[in-house]
Structure 1
Amino acid sequence: MTNLVILTGRLDRDPESRETKGGTSVTGITVVTDRPARDKDGKTYKDDNGYTAKDSEFHRVTCFNGLSKTVGQFCTKGQLVSVQGRLHYTQWEDQEGVKRYGCEILADKVDFLSRGNARDGDGDNRDAPEID
């Protein structure tokens, strides 16, 4: 059995990095993917500008350890990335005792498909490593 997700899309915002109490580096990103929008008859249609209308989906992606550090350092809002990982479902109770559910992708690999701005402010990520 396989649990494999591959997404290609743009980052909705800059990565959010943190470190756990145990010292594990964790970075969260949101990848936006688009697909043609369909009307009630299942047909695609044009928007007001004459382009095919699109529906966007926002995917939460979590990276750990070395991958986390690299993504946190070299990725920026709007950058095109390809993510490979697995789906992970969570369940918890909120403060009112209501059961909540969530889904995220735990990343194994992130490929940079367009240039982003490096976090050190020089705007160049030529030295960004390939990530596995």
Structure 2
Amino acid sequence: MINNVVLVGRLTKDVDLRYTGSGTAVGNFTIAADRPYTNAQGERETDFINCVIWRKSAETLANFTRKGSLIGVTGRIQTRNYENNQGQRVYVTEVVAENFQLLEPKSVTDQRIQSSGTTPAQNDQASNTNQTQNYNKNNQAPNYDSFSDFTADPFKQNSDQIEISDDDLPF
């Protein structure tokens, strides 16, 4: 049987990092992923997909991302159920993330961390990430304050031609 999920989207809020009774880290988060087509009004619809990630990966994701961060996730779909306080059976379907990738420049993540008021230690950890792209020649990242800004063209302000040599291409 095959149960594989690949998602690319933005975090709808900071990762909710908790620890089990035995000390295992678990992070819950939701990814907003646009559908690949538009509706009758020409607007893209978005799916909000609940995810869970475990152990060191959960801690790393929580430390290096913030609400609005663009990430890629690979994992599997899992269903579970439990009985709530009212005695009703609740069914949950979620993606168990087995791997993730940060898909935006370090400068955007740093800006998000500074605007969220995290501690200096967390800012130092974020500075050590290995993403060194910049959105434009002035090293100014766009401000993603609202969900509608997530689809903005990051290169719109840069009128220079992007030059890529054949040696830089992966194929």
Specify the TM-score bucket, using the shorter chain as the normaliser: 0.7 to 0.9
User: Under a length normalisation based on structure 1, what TM-score does the superposition of the two structures give?
Assistant: 0.79
SS of alignment partner, residue 126 of structure 2:
coil
Matched, 1:74 2:75: no
- The 5-angstrom pairing of residues 45-56 of structure 1 reads 45-46=41-42, 53-56=43-46
SS of alignment partner, residue 69 of structure 1:
helix
Give the strand-richer structure, 1 or 2. Answer: 1
Check the 8 A contact 2:64/2:125 in 1, yes or no: no
**Number of corresponding residues:** 119
User: Under a length normalisation based on structure 2, what TM-score does the superposition of the two structures give?
Assistant: 0.63
C-alpha displacement of 1:97? 2.0
SS of alignment partner, residue 30 of structure 1:
strand
Give the helix-richer structure, 1 or 2. Answer: 2
Label 1:124 to 1:19 Cα distance change in 2 as closer, same or farther (>3 A).
closer
Matched, 1:128 2:129: yes
Which structure 2 residue ranges, 5 or more long, are not aligned?
A: 132-171
C-alpha displacement of 1:124? 8.0
Alignment-derived partner of residue 33 in structure 1:
33
Alpha-carbon distance between aligned partners in 2 of 1:64 and 1:82, rounded to the nearest angstrom: 16
Give identity over the alignment, percent. Answer: 26
Across the aligned residues of Structure 1 and Structure 2, the Cα RMSD in angstroms comes to 2.2
